[in-house]
Amino acid sequence: MKEFMMIFVGADYADLGLSPEELQNRMGKWFAWGNKMEKAGILRGGNALNPNMRRIVGENRTVTDLTSAEVKEIVGGYYLVEAKDFDAVQEIAQDFPDYDLGGTVEIREITVFDQ
């Protein structure tokens, strides 16, 4: 088994003007997805990220504070899952709730060094 990270890009709730009802419905879908992965015993962790960010760039270590509105494709959160291969994770990612809001899932494999 390998470990993968599903990174969620875009679909920033704060910018989409979702109503309380819609937010609750969205959350219900996230619950269902999380439960499904937990039941399958493949969930290794995950977090949601605040939209505020501080960016440090270049040798001068230039610092900028940014909000989600200023960043095109903001990372909103991630899940760590255990799976056989990319295809298996792709299957898991079918249930990501926010495709309809323009959200994207990026799947990356966690690097493991065999000594």
Residue numbers of the site for other proteins (CB under 8 A)? 13-14, 17-24, 26-28, 30-32, 34-35, 38, 46-48, 76-77
Q: In this complex, which beta carbon is closest to other proteins, that of residue 27 or of residue 85?
A: 27
User: Closest approach of Cβ 111 to other proteins, in Å?
Assistant: 24
E-assigned strand segments in the chain: 2-9, 43-48, 53-57, 62-66, 75-83, 104-109
Q: Measured between alpha carbons, how far is 108 from 63 in angstroms, rounded to an integer?
A: 28
Q: In this complex, which beta carbon is closest to other proteins, that of residue 3 or of residue 46?
A: 46
Q: Measured between alpha carbons, how far is 88 from 42 in angstroms, rounded to an integer?
A: 11
User: Closest approach of Cβ 108 to other proteins, in Å?
Assistant: 19
